[in-house]
Amino acid sequence: MVNFSHPGISVIIPTYNQADLLREAIQSIIDQTFTDWETIVVNNYSEDSTIDVVESFKDSRISLINFSNHGIIGISRNEGVRHAKADIIAFLDSDDTWTNLKLERMISVFRQKPGVELVCHDEWLLLENTIKSVMEYGPYKSYHNLLFRKNCLSTSAVAMLRHKFIEIGGFSEELRFAGAEDYDLWLRLARAGCTIEYLHEVLGTFRVHDQSFTAKIQQFCENYLNVLNYHFENWPGKTFFIRYLMQRRRADAWRGAARSFLKKGDYRQARRFLHLAFKEDPLAWKTWVLSAMNLLRGRV
């Protein structure tokens, strides 16, 4: 049962050398209609004006922790949770922002549905300061579907019960999962029976830019595959169909990387990753379509 005592929610912001973007992220919390929050900024010893930005808000609800995460953002998030006072926690990456109704709407779900342990809302996708599309999350809630279909949650769009987070051990701090540690967390939560609710309202902005981990396509793909393979290894009863589903998911990962390279105009790398996708699932029509697109654009 959630205890809605003060503060109502703890917000964790890990950051490193993103002072200007951090200012926008914190301001989006200041602008919330729900005001009973605390924000914990976990600063990985940034070399820019991060500390000045945090102190400039002069708000007692905002605290700063200088903490070395050794390049693994999950470590910073876990450290923030250790300092959190509320029963509900939310994560906001320092390059993302929220709409002013975000916390109010999330808290209302926990109040109206006492059995819910995690809530995820939709987001705008912001690419090079231009809104490109709406990122709709869901509908998958079970461990099987999250593992064999797709990851359909986003860290900056999630609020959850702190005790559930602690119960399953928080974010992985393994380097091989870096950048995909959120997917591993959702999988472990689902496996532990976490009750997930999707709120189909756009309440935040997910920013993709050159500094973000998402821009490091190959590294992210490899770590995403590490998460998949870790959970595949622990799956009981690997029937022929289950093995096919595993191959299909690995092909999805390779194809996702190929799509990213295609968008960046790197047709050679796209071709390499499409080849890996074909090796896993040669009959996938999406891979054939992407290959045709890569071939045509490469020739042009």
The string of pLDDT tens digits covering residues 14-32 is: 999 999 999 999 999 999 9
154-211 pLDDT, tens digit per residue, is: 999 999 999 999 999 999 999 999 999 999 999 999 999 999 999 999 999 999 876 5
CA distance 89 to 97: 16
Neighbours of 107 (CB within 10 A): 21
Please indicate, yes or no, whether residues 13 and 115 belong to a single structural domain of this protein.
yes
Please indicate, yes or no, whether residues 175 and 86 belong to a single structural domain of this protein.
yes
Please indicate, yes or no, whether residues 189 and 136 belong to a single structural domain of this protein.
yes
Please indicate, yes or no, whether residues 136 and 266 belong to a single structural domain of this protein.
no
Q: Please identify which residue in the block is written with the tokens 């967390």.
A: 185
Please indicate, yes or no, whether residues 196 and 50 belong to a single structural domain of this protein.
yes
Q: Is the peptide bond before 7 cis (omega within 30 degrees of 0)?
A: yes
* pLDDT at residue 24 in the model: 97
* pLDDT at residue 294 in the model: 93
* pLDDT at residue 216 in the model: 84
Query: What average pLDDT score do residues 238-250 get?
Result: 96
Please indicate, yes or no, whether residues 194 and 291 belong to a single structural domain of this protein.
no
Per the rule left: phi > 0, alpha: psi between -120 and 50, beta: everything else, 169 is left
> 125-135: buried (b, 16+ CB within 10 Å) or exposed (e) per residue?
ebeeeeeeeeb
CA 266, distance to chain mean position in Å, is 25
| Two structure tokens written together for 290 | 């992407």
* pLDDT at residue 3 in the model: 74
50-105 pLDDT, tens digit per residue, is: 999 999 999 999 999 999 999 999 999 999 999 999 999 999 999 999 999 999 99
Q: What is the CATH number of the domain that holds 166?
A: 3.90.550.10
Q: Considering the domain boundaries, does residue 2 fall inside one?
A: no
Percentage of residues of the chain with pLDDT beyond 90: 89
Among 211, 227, 244, the domain-final residue is 211
CA distance 17 to 177: 22
Please indicate, yes or no, whether residues 178 and 240 belong to a single structural domain of this protein.
no
Please indicate, yes or no, whether residues 108 and 257 belong to a single structural domain of this protein.
no
Burial class (CB in 10 A: 0-12, 13-18, 19+), 24: middle
Query: What average pLDDT score do residues 285-296 get?
Result: 94
Q: Please identify which residue in the block is written with the tokens 């950051």.
A: 15
126-164 pLDDT, tens digit per residue, is: 987 788 899 999 999 999 999 999 999 999 999 999 999
Give the SS3 label for residue 290: helix
Q: Considering the domain boundaries, does residue 191 fall inside one?
A: yes
- The pTM of the full predicted model, rounded to 2 decimals, is 0.94
Query: What contacts 79, CB < 8 A, 6 or more positions away?
Result: 42, 65, 67, 69
Which helix (H) or strand (E) is 13 found in, with range? Answer: strand 9-15
Please indicate, yes or no, whether residues 253 and 200 belong to a single structural domain of this protein.
no
- How long, in residues, is the chain? 300
Neighbours of 11 (CB within 10 A): 28
Q: Considering the domain boundaries, does residue 253 fall inside one?
A: yes
Q: Total domain count for the chain?
A: 2
Percentage of residues of the chain with pLDDT beyond 70: 97
Please indicate, yes or no, whether residues 145 and 269 belong to a single structural domain of this protein.
no
Q: Considering the domain boundaries, does residue 125 fall inside one?
A: yes
Q: Considering the domain boundaries, does residue 122 fall inside one?
A: yes
* pLDDT at residue 213 in the model: 46
- Whole-number average pLDDT of the chain: 94
Q: Considering the domain boundaries, does residue 217 fall inside one?
A: no
What is the extent of the structural domain holding 247? 236-299
CA distance 216 to 194: 31
Q: Considering the domain boundaries, does residue 216 fall inside one?
A: no
Q: Considering the domain boundaries, does residue 84 fall inside one?
A: yes
| Two structure tokens written together for 103 | 């916390």
Please indicate, yes or no, whether residues 255 and 197 belong to a single structural domain of this protein.
no
Give the SS3 label for residue 238: coil
Do residues 217 and 261 touch, judged by C-beta distance below 8 A? yes
Looking at the predicted structure, is the pLDDT value of residue 124 above 50?
Answer: yes
Please indicate, yes or no, whether residues 172 and 259 belong to a single structural domain of this protein.
no
